[in-house]
Amino acid sequence: MTDATAPGAPIEPSFDDVIAAISFNADGLVPAIAQAEGSGEILMMAWMNRDAVLETLRTGRVCYWSRSRKGLWRKGETSGQMQRLKDFRVDCDGDTLLVIVEQDGVACHTGRRSCFYRALRDGKLEIIQDVETDPSVLYGHTHK
Amino acid sequence: MTDATAPGAPIEPSFDDVIAAISFNADGLVPAIAQAEGSGEILMMAWMNRDAVLETLRTGRVCYWSRSRKGLWRKGETSGQMQRLKDFRVDCDGDTLLVIVEQDGVACHTGRRSCFYRALRDGKLEIIQDVETDPSVLYGHTHK
């Protein structure tokens, strides 16, 4: 028989003070910036609700809230491009999160490393990053 | 007499295609992540409206929209901690911006380099960055 409250049993943190430090917006969401460990590259920005924050902290795998699908979005669940949590930060007023991650493969659904692949050049937006992985490979189908 | 349409006169880009690429939310705002050039450190996240984007692009000094003051927020106008625009990027679905900046002094109103100075350590949030500049110096008054 196991007893989670037995002396010596590992105590899982409740993360209550982390949740209390976050100002979720009127929709119960908070933006989370994902930055690659090491390179420091900004990979993407997405949203989390309370459950996504808790799942991220408990599992060490980054989980967002999909506003379009209205459900938890376990990054990499479909594409395999998982994000392993390396650090979790909260900003001064608690209304933005920063997750520092080890990114498996590419972060962007277009198959590019980062979602921020368009940059201003001579007054216009230009694509500055190549596609590294064919999106049909990421999502298991072609767009024919 | 000057004539902006004279041959040889510099033509200021309209930035129309940049604006068209941005999906402003129902409030007319888009989140903008500020990253330090060189170190790659994430300094802050704030919001821009169309006018703030255009002012940032035209002046090369980062301008946000203050949701609390409901006005343009020329970063550094009060504190002197200006952000000079080094690169401007738009994400894949156009609903987040990334500005790469040269930050004068500190970015955070608490006097820390970055707003993301709280990090998860042993299940709790811990302050991982020191105050570099007394906020009373930044805002010209003390909090006595």
Show residues of chain A in contact with B16, CB under 8 Å: none
Query: Under an 8 A CB cutoff, do A13 and B122 touch?
Result: yes
Show residues of chain B in contact with A92, CB under 8 Å: 108-110, 112, 115, 117
Query: Under an 8 A CB cutoff, do A18 and B115 touch?
Result: no
pLDDT at residue B73 greater than cutoff 90: yes
pLDDT at residue B94 greater than cutoff 80: yes
Chain A residue with the nearest C-alpha to that of B35: A42
Show residues of chain B in contact with A120, CB under 8 Å: 18, 57, 87-89
Q: Distance between CA A42 and CA A46 in Å, rounded?
A: 12
- Closest C-alpha among A12, B9, B88, A118 to residue B1: B9
Q: Which two tokens stand for residue A64?
A: 């967002």
Average pLDDT, chain A: 92
Nearest to A33 among B15, B39, B45 (CB): B45
Q: Give me the interface pTM, i.e. the ipTM.
A: 0.90
Order of strands across the sheet that contains A97-103: A71-74, A63-66, A42-48, A30-36, A97-103, A83-90, B118-121, B124-127
User: pLDDT tens digit string along A65-101?
Assistant: 999 999 999 999 988 999 999 999 999 999 999 999 9
How many beta-carbon pairs below 8 A join chains A and B?
107
Does A63 belong to an annotated binding site?
A: no
Q: Distance between CA A97 and CA A46 in Å, rounded?
A: 10
Tokens 């989140």 found at: B31
Res B144: pLDDT: 39
User: pLDDT tens digit string along B2-18?
Assistant: 455 566 767 778 999 99
Query: Under an 8 A CB cutoff, do B108 and A122 touch?
Result: no
Q: What is the mean pLDDT of residues B52-64?
A: 98
Q: What is the mean pLDDT of residues A120-141?
A: 91
Domains annotated for chain A, with CATH where assigned, are 16-105 (3.10.20.810)
Using CA atoms in the order A35, B47, A56, A139, what is the torsion angle rounded to 10 degrees? -70
Q: Distance between CA A101 and CA A36 in Å, rounded?
A: 5
